[in-house]
Chain A
Amino acid sequence: MKEYTNLALEAARGAGADFADMRIVEERQNRVFVQRRSLKLIDETESFGYAIRVLINGAWGFASSTKLNKEEVVATARRAAAIAKASAKVPKDTPAVMAPESKYVDTQVGPCEEDPFKVSNKEKAELLLACTDTMLNQPNIVMAVGYLQFIKMHRIIANSDGSYLDLTNYFANPHLGCYAVDGNESQDRSYQGGAKQAGYEFIREIDLAGNAKKWAEEALIKCRAEDTPSGVMDLVLDPMHLALTMHESVGHPTELDRILGWEANMAGRSFVKPEFVGNLQYGSEIVNFTANNVLEGGLGSWFYDDDGVKMHKFAMVKDGVLNSLGCTRETAPIIGWERSNGCCRSDDFEHFPINRIPNLYLEPGKDDSVTPGDLISGVDKGVYIEGMGSFSIDQMRNNFQFGGDMFWMIEGGKITKPLKKVTYQAQTTQFWNSCDGLAGKDYWKPHGVMNCGKGEPMQVMRMTHGASHTRFRNINVGGAKI
């Protein structure tokens, strides 16, 4: 491919580019989708294309193509240059520059022990059909859904810094869920483990078939459970639930492009300001968030981001205080930072890479002996929530309301009964400052999110979160109109 990337970079330089890159992306995907006892989809898709990005006099141009030949590569580079000149009609106050970065020449392949594309589709379909059949055989289950998705992403990134990167990653994304109906009530329950950068071995590890009956039974338990209590009380949240809470209230607010106002028309901005770094008490002193784009199996561990920055690990919140922001080579210099921390990614060859949430997780408590049961025993009145459910947050990432997948009443330090339709409402820093308990590292679990939407046109990105069970005091529960 080097002859094409050299040609593209040469054409970009000839058009006056101060910085240029060519990103070639080849993606293969395999999906199997089962609804009830019907195989709705069994397919593979392949996609190939490339984009050339040029920065000319501080203005961006970007053009993509699916045709890889010398003439088309040169034409695409020139089209990108022409688009950059159109961008200059509405220039930035300070022309865009890229933070300096080292030259890397590297080839990397992500974890994949069992190639999912070599496992027969029949085996995948039969696994899902067995799971949905198990669920539908339980009382009151009217609907069951199973889904397996596997992606092989191959990127070649060459840029005018001299970097040439050949990178391959595999992603495995399972889902299984069901709906129960009991009279006029209907509730659902589903697999909550998320996705992982892995091969088919991940599907064998999570034992969907072994859990199908339990989840179906719990869907009916939810139907027959009491409605949410209402009032101010404590929460104990499991790692799968917290993945979404931290995604919305920590991951997005710390994206520097949002903070700079670049997402104001759609995804919104942030209550965080650059000067809050080192000053804002984001959470209580036991709250430590780590950004880790070299996390083994993390969906955001891409070796190098689409700016050509080598990915690494850094503290986002340290002892409760905001310590850093996720940034790109373009956004970092705007706030006076010398280098990017590698948070620039695109979901497809035809989309412009943007500032994305890295793998981001809540560190477990320092006392490894603390168990989820210990956290629950310290609650007089509260709710224990498992898994993800309803989620909504305002465009500055302050006011949020979350539900969950399974709920249990805590009374006198003990779980007493199941609940349904529980929601809680809080403001971001109020919520994380009310954190007073973390289970130890044995209870820490990752959760890969495959569907983070951001940008215009919309880009869907992947990253992994993680936590151990965590306790929060005095949260407003049950304020929704049930």
Chain B
Amino acid sequence: MRTQNEIKQILDSILTKVPGLETQVSYSGEKNLATRFGENSITQNMGGEVENLRILVYKGKRSGSYETNRFDDESLKRLVDIAVAMAEDSPEDPEYVPLPGPQEYLDMPEGWNDDVVELGPEAIAEDIGKVVSAAKAKGFRASGLFEAQAEVSAIANTNGLFAYDRSSDVTYSTTVHGPVGSGKAEVSRNSFGEIDIDKMVQTAITNAEMAQNPADIEPGDYTVIFEPSAMLEFFAFMAWNMGARDADEGTTVFAGKVGEKLFSDKLNISLKTDVPELPAPIFGDAGLAVEPRKWIKNGVLERLRHGRFWAEKKGVEPDPTMFPVFMEGEDNTVDDLVKKCKRGLLVKNLWYIRYVDRRELLLTGMTRDGVFLVEDGKIVKPVKNLRWNESPIVFLNNIVAMSKPERVGHYAMLPGVMSEGFTFSSKTESL
């Protein structure tokens, strides 16, 4: 992969080719491995390296942009020529905002480890072999994706801004099917060495064993305990709706709500830049420096995300990114939440979440890979999957208790959450 100096030279050389025009150039490069398996065998096994250059040229308030993955001299010349020609031909943008100048980037934990760059397909295949062996020993069938990526990104502009960042990621995900029911496990880390494959295998097999032979259950309103993995996408839908301009125009549930208490006192959500378990990017939109943000404090909506144009119009600082998001938890385990629950459902994962009513942030989706009836502080039995219709606003207002947050995927640290009055609307035989 190219070094920081090599990338800077490329970006600088492109900027010199467009004298007199405000220009931004960005670079992204990735080395990746991805191995898929299904029904206890490897079904796809891929490896590659890609890199892209993107240019954005302004001529006054007119703009044009071009992207290529070709780096020869002729292609770089075309990159500039076409973007300049497009800028000359495009209508003016009334929401044009000048590109930012040099930034002071925070000193943050780096999400990079060389062991990911050095990783080969054999090591990944060996780890898949451990999952498959454990599944076969139980008469189960394992499927999944084990992948590794090393990514480098950089941005420069004619106002003197330059930023460089790099991150590595290893994500292992597996679903284990028994005869009647399934369990899932997923782990994501910035280093191959931090992946505990044995623990992951044990989690997947245990979840699959627990989920076998689920009983019928009627839909209705239940107390639920969402494991952190179930929280992720449900929570993400809310985060995607936290744009300031959309709220100001009245199209989201947060219209006119900044400063109001919408959630449980227990809810605190922020963007942190000092957490080694989930490093934040150094820069965001247009190369702006990423800084800590508090979005929700003790249940009060403190701030919504402002893009550069809306921030300028409202006289506030822009928010270069919403992610990664951090939700505070409590000093419990998910098992502790189960012990606190008189009657409810423990939900391992959700699936196919979509809007029902965007303005109210009413969502629908299914449970997947394990739902369990809890009575008097104990898991009584697995139950069949259910369709739900609920809003994360209601869910996060009805919090009873939470576990300690943990990293889920690439962009969130979330706790398990116990919440009351969650609405399930229909059932399915699908397992």
Contact = CB atoms under 8 A, between A and B. Distances in A.
A79 B47 contact: yes
A399 B251 contact: no
Interface string B152-190: 000000000000000000000111010000101000000
B19 interface: no
Contact of A129 (B91, B132, B182, B389): B91
Interface string B3-38: 000000000000000000000000000000011111
A63 B93 CA distance: 42
B147 to A, nearest CB: 7
B243 to A, nearest CB: 11
B143 A86 contact: no
Interface string A64-101: 11100000000000010011101101111100000000
A396 B429 CA distance: 9
A277 interface: no
Interface of A is mostly: mixed
Contacts of B43: 60, 92, 262
A48 interface: yes
B387 interface: yes
Interface string A403-423: 100000000000000000101
Given A392-B353, A395-B351, A46 B126 contact: no
B173 A38 contact: no
A239 B102 CA distance: 53
Contacts of B255: 184
Interface string A29-41: 0000000111111
Nearest to A128: B91
B94 A38 contact: yes
Given A43-B65, A43-B67, A43-B86, A60 B45 contact: yes
A401 B364 contact: yes
A7 B339 CA distance: 64
B342 interface: no
A63 B47 contact: yes
B122 interface: yes
Contacts of B429: 396, 398
B356 interface: yes
B366 A392 contact: yes
Interface stretch (B277-285, B323-331, B399-407, B420-428): B420-428
A271 B430 contact: yes
Interface in B236-291: 246, 249-252, 255
Interface residues of B, number: 89
Most buried by A among B129, B252, B255, B359: B359
Contacts of A434: none
A395 B430 contact: yes
Interface string B112-123: 000000001110
Interface stretch (A117-125, A284-292, A370-378): A117-125
Contact of A186 (B45, B90, B358, B425): B358
Nearest to B149: A457
Contacts of A87: 35, 42, 45, 121, 125
Nearest to B34: A457
B70 A423 contact: no
B46 A63 contact: yes
Contact of A457 (B128, B129, B147, B252): B147
B67 A45 contact: yes
A41 to B, nearest CB: 7
Interface in A1-45: 36-45
B69 A49 contact: yes
B194 interface: no
B66 interface: yes
A59 B35 CA distance: 12
B198 to A, nearest CB: 17
Contacts of B120: 86
A479 B426 contact: yes
A298 interface: no
Contacts of A107: none
Given A66-B49, A87-B42, 12 more contacts: A63-B46, A64-B46, A93-B41, A122-B91, A265-B144, A265-B174, A390-B355, A392-B365, A395-B351, A395-B366, A403-B356, A427-B428
Q: Give 3 closest A-B pairs by Cβ, nearest first.
A: A396-B430, A399-B428, A262-B38
Interface of B: 34-51, 63-70, 75, 82, 86, 89-95, 120-122, 124-126, 128-129, 132, 141, 143-145, 147, 173-175, 177, 182, 184, 246, 249-252, 255, 309, 351-359, 362, 364-366, 368, 385, 387, 389-390, 423, 425-431
11 contacts: A42-B86, A46-B68, A48-B69, A62-B46, A92-B41, A122-B91, A142-B249, A350-B48, A394-B368, A395-B366, A399-B385
